[in-house]
Structure 1
């Protein structure tokens, strides 16, 4: 299968390797790149907080570039799912509480532990992002501090570069990892919608699928688990 990979580098390259090993042909079309702000992360970490929360592996990669991270590596860190937990472990964190894969589920995990907190939870976040994690905590009146430590900036593509990258043969599947990812992809592909006529639109979650235009709804598949294993299982 010819599979479009829309996530940013370096993650896109790792996904491409997995696809090749599964016998598929990856088509790399990263839609964004991370603009990292380790200085904001360092400032936030110095303020009082009870624990840390991450809803993306990119946030863990930003933390790994903070100069003086060692004092925080034994703090409890809530990671949204497997990939984020793995990135946090690679950054050196030792007390990781792993969620099932979505922001709302991570909020429930945090709230189960909330009575032990004596300061706000520090959420090290990106922009744009789903609000489900924050909404879940604020509905329960959980003290929360948010630091935006990176931004996913859209990459510029012209029509010809999209044609060369994607459209030399029919597309069989598209992997979509976030709501913003889906929005950018279909905006970019609007002039070439016919090229997706037989493509499976494989989404990480219901939230991602909500950004898919109505004309593609019958092609949507949603991962049973909100991680890359769940996506690839649908190919």
Structure 2
């Protein structure tokens, strides 16, 4: 099983695969660069709650220091139970999980506002780059104030040709886990996929969501399988 997601998540996925009897080959195609100062400044401004769409934010908080301790009682709205649990693990006591994508997270916040009333301060959205626009578009359409702060960005990783060939051709994996459109684009841009596509005719392309599957080139489209929900448990259930 070829795992492309960034570390340390890649290692966690590899352990899960190993426990299920699969051999994992790790080839992270990006890494996260945190903007800790931007997050510190954002936390110092008034905000009604925090919204996060990735557990990467929890990893950021694990390195930010003790000066955020007064903010740990802030309500957190998170995409997915795993992200909510990760925020709790770094000290946020009031973390709530919503569905598996940004639009579901926005709907959760909208439902909360209907019950509790409009917030006096904006929702603080600690976001990554690149990101999908669904969360921000839905909150904007609902008239709920929010402030987006880019807290990390994903930076592409490159490898020597021999390392790529080893991961993809020695032997060709049975399946590749595609978690995001960005990782899918990077994967299909690797030299072996471009230069010898026939070698990958039997490769299963396991996609986290329809948005990921949409990136799969037409010649490989019949090999794409889509998880029933945009979370890792559903993705691995395809195995």
What interval of TM-score do these two structures reach, taking the shorter chain for normalisation? Answer: over 0.9
- Residue pairs, 1:195-214, within 5 angstroms: 195-214=199-218
Is residue 184 of structure 1 aligned with residue 186 of structure 2?
Answer: yes
SS in 2 for 1:126: strand
Q: Which residue of 1 aligns with 2:31?
A: 33
Distance 1:92 1:107, change over 3 A: same
In structure 2, runs of 5+ residues without a counterpart are none
Q: What does the per-residue CA deviation read over 1:95-154, in whole Å, with 9 as the maximum and x for residues that have no partner? A: 011011111111110111222411111000111111111111112222110111111100
When residues 82 and 194 of structure 1 are mapped into structure 2, their CA distance, relative to the original with a 3 A threshold, is: farther
- Stretches of structure 1 that go unaligned for 5 or more consecutive residues are none
Shift of residue 166, structure 1, vs aligned partner: 2.1
Q: What are the equivalent positions in structure 2 for 1:135-150 lying under 5 Å apart?
A: 135-150=137-152
Aligned length: 233
Deviations 1:39-67 (A, max 9, x none): 11100111111100000000121122222
Q: Distance in 2 between matches of 1:171 and 1:95?
A: 41
1:82 matched residue in structure 2: 81
* Residue aligning to 1:109: 108
> Counterparts in 2 of 1:20-99, with a 5 A limit?
20-67=18-65, 68-99=67-98
> Which among 225, 231, 237 is matched to residue 227 of structure 1?
231
- Shift in CA distance, 195/29, structure 1 to aligned 2, threshold 3 Å: farther
**SS of aligned partner of 2:189:** helix
3-state SS in 2 of match to 1:146: strand
Q: Deviations over 1:140-174 (max 9, x none)?
A: 22211011111110001233221012211132111
Where 1:175 maps in the other structure, the secondary structure is: strand
Identify the range of structure 1 (161-170 vs 173-182) with the bigger mean alpha-carbon deviation: 161-170
Classify the secondary structure of the residue corresponding to 1:65.
helix
Deviation at 1:224, TM superposition (A): 1.2
Q: Which moved more, 1:95-104 or 1:59-68?
A: 59-68
CA distance in 2 between counterparts of 1:125 and 1:191 reads 36
Distance (whole Å) between structure 2 residues aligned to residue 89 and residue 223 of structure 1: 26
TM-score, normalised via structure 1 length: 0.95
After the TM superposition, which residues 163-178 of structure 1 pair with which residues of structure 2 at under 5 Å, given as runs? Answer: 163-178=165-180
TM-score, normalised relative to structure 2: 0.93
TM superposition shift of 1:80: 0.4
SS in 2 for 1:69: helix
Distance in 2, matches of 1:93 and 1:190, equals 45
**Could you tell me whether the CA contact under 8 Å between 1:171 and 1:198 is conserved in 2?**
no
**SS at the partner of 1:25?**
coil
Aligned equivalents of 1:212, 1:139: Cα separation in 2: 31
